[in-house]
Structure 1
Amino acid sequence: MTDDAPQLPDQTLTLAGGARIPLLGFGTWQITGDDAVRATASALESGYRHLDTATIYGNEAEVGRALAESGVPRDEVFVTTKCPPDDAGRALDTLRTSLDLLQVDHVDLWLIHWPGSANTDMWRAFVEARDAGLTKEIGVSNFDASLLDEVTEATGVAPAINQIRWSPLLFDAGVVEEHRARGIALEGYSALRGGTLEHPAIVEIAERAGRTPAQVIVRWHLQHEIVVIPKSVNADRIRSNADVGGFSLSDEDMATLDALGSR
């Protein structure tokens, strides 16, 4: 690490099975090939200890290579991957393939990537994978409250986490409460998309704080205790997005950002 190393946050959440997930992770959607190796390596070098990938991203091998070559002990990195619902009926085989590509013997979190036609059956396979030690925690992505309840009631096992599209522009206190009432952690993706980086209110807060709009958005997630997984292929931006441990947003700034979701 150099003197300009980012000041990363150390916040984690304890999930249903006891695993601790860092609130800040590195997303890898749409990053493939050598870019995925380089970007993941930059993230690990910058201090990220949470990596997010998926079967359909087509980059598990590259993420696994970067992790294996990083020198960072496996047990210090929280690894998430996801299974497409089209693989219902062969989900365990999909996970074993993911483990081979990632060069690990288990993942820390395995998600159903989006709802399908056999959510309950697939969720039963996820419970089986957890019980077999292939994943520490199991969860879902892009599920609404009714689907969360459907799989929970069918199996007696609630998802540990639900990963959904999330940003200040999408903030909904009711969604946050729906998850917390069920003991399900909330994780946001695509936080830096959809006009968030250019929004005048976010830009104003960033300029006043001497921070980037991306740092403000990441910090906003952390102060809500919502997992966030910014992504970039640019090493400087990867470091900058993580450099959010040295400041906080005021209650007034948080309220301003929350209000963007109702406009």
Structure 2
Amino acid sequence: MTDSPTRLRKLANSPEWVFNWRTRGSPLIPKIIALVVAGTAFTLLVTTVRIRLVLPEKSSLQKASLIYLGDDAQSRALTLRAREGGPFPSRFELSSWEGLAEVERKAMDAARYQPPAYVPEIRDLPDENLVQPLVLAPRGEAFFPKRKPAADGTPELPKVKLAPVLYPLSAMAVKALPENLPAFDGAVDGKLSSPSWRFLVCLNAAGGVTECVSLGKGGEVAADTLEAWLHRVAFKPEAGVPVRWIALSVGFINQPVDGPDAR
């Protein structure tokens, strides 16, 4: 069977990139190269191109269940369980609590409580008569109560006099002051006892006064009298200190003339 002229004409007019597979005498190498290129392209497409197949999801049916509950005990228990375990728990209602009636009853009973009536216990009086007989005055005689003797006059107060006392100002504690002070022989008047006298005193190692300087009213007669009295005061000695200066204040207080507290 020979090829028709029309078919041969079509093969002769074919483009260059279309191989004439049936033409006899054509070279074999271009055909092999074409097969290799086509196979490589097909293999590349098969290994790299992934077609994702998504199965349609099954749509869930929207449905719900309805349970009808009555007024019996089992229905009330199921209702309470549904409320507590549901997505919207109900709050505690005191009026719906079963124990409310019992609490109200106990409260009303406590409010109606009436204490028992008080009944005093009657006891017999002692046989001894504690009431003394009333003594009446004889008829026809005047009776007057006994008059208590008048108290004596006001008791005699002990005699007191103004005496000087010492108060530490600096460099000395109260317990370091001498317990016994010499008697003050001068007359104490208002000019001497009213102001507050301050002195700077120098003591030797034995506690005796070597120097005495008035800090307020030096040169006055009263100041000289107090300085002379301070020279007779014996202070407590301090070990290891040959000379020391202290500041004192001299005041006047009332002290008994005689007795254990007299100075």
Q: TM-score by structure 2 length?
A: 0.17
Q: Between Structure 1 and Structure 2, whose CA radius of gyration is higher? A: 2
Q: Which has the higher contact order (CA 8 A, sep 6+)?
A: 1
Q: TM-score by structure 1 length?
A: 0.17
More helix by share: 1
